[in-house]
Amino acid sequence: MSDDKWQNPVAGFGVTFKAMFKKRLTEQYPEQHKTTAPRFHGRHQLNRHPDGLEKCIGCELCAWACPADAIYVEGADNTEEERYSPGERYGAVYQINYARCILCGLCVEACPTRALTMTNEFELADASRESLIYTKEQLLSGLTEGMVEAPHSMFPGTEDTDYYRGLVTGAAPGTVRQTAVSKGEVPADQAVDEAAEDAEEVQA
């Protein structure tokens, strides 16, 4: 037997022998969760401005940047009666298909308003494909102190550029939520009138 044929098995067992003394890497998942890195690429999040308006402007750059075609966006125009974001447009429909998403983060890099970021949440498995399609409502961040749920008016005396410069730190006093007519909501006064008409019809 040549020296090479004799040394090859020994070299292989040498790797095994070294591994015997290394610390075991077994994780007791899901009972114990390992802390993820600060810049971990997990589930996406749609962010808000400090007053509650949405940062997404419906530009669709994230959808264009996605190599897996996992993002679907429909933009719409803001109005003074129903405003979701500073500026002209907002993301009316926003969906991410996690059956396709590869969590590469290219969509985050493409976003011009820092509306889209990635969280540390990685438990996205589900039993159905439909459940893996996350909607805007599921991705939108929650409200914190000083925020008013959109739609509502911009901070008085400001422009959209003031929001991106960080000059708006919260909702103006007295800011109230507008009626989301595009989502089928009815103004309060109209709802009262319709209720009164229904009551009159019942009495008649």
User: Tell me: the pLDDT tens digits for 146-196?
Assistant: 999 999 999 999 999 999 999 999 999 999 999 999 888 887 766 555 655
SS3 58: coil
Is residue 90 included in any domain, yes or no? yes
Is residue 203 included in any domain, yes or no? no
Is residue 92 included in any domain, yes or no? yes
**Residue 96 is assigned to a ligand binding site:** no
Which two structure tokens, joined as six digits, stand for 42? 């997990």
**Residue 14 is assigned to a ligand binding site:** no
Is residue 14 included in any domain, yes or no? no
The predicted structure's pLDDT at residue 193: 55
30: cis peptide before it, omega within 30°?
A: yes
**Residue 72 is assigned to a ligand binding site:** no
Which two structure tokens, joined as six digits, stand for 111? 């976003």
> Which helix H or strand E contains 193, and what residues bound it?
helix 188-203
* Phi, psi (degrees; rounded to nearest 5) at 167: -80, -15
The model carries a pTM of 0.79
Domain containing 134 equals: 44-166
Is residue 147 included in any domain, yes or no? yes
Is residue 142 included in any domain, yes or no? yes
Residue 78 burial (10 A CB sphere; 0-12, 13-18, 19+): buried
**Residue 39 is assigned to a ligand binding site:** no
Residue 180 near residue 79, CB atoms below 8 Å: no
Domain count, the chain: 1
Is residue 17 included in any domain, yes or no? no
**Residue 143 is assigned to a ligand binding site:** no
Is residue 122 included in any domain, yes or no? yes
* CATH number of the structural domain spanning residue 116: 3.30.70.3270
**Residue 150 is assigned to a ligand binding site:** no
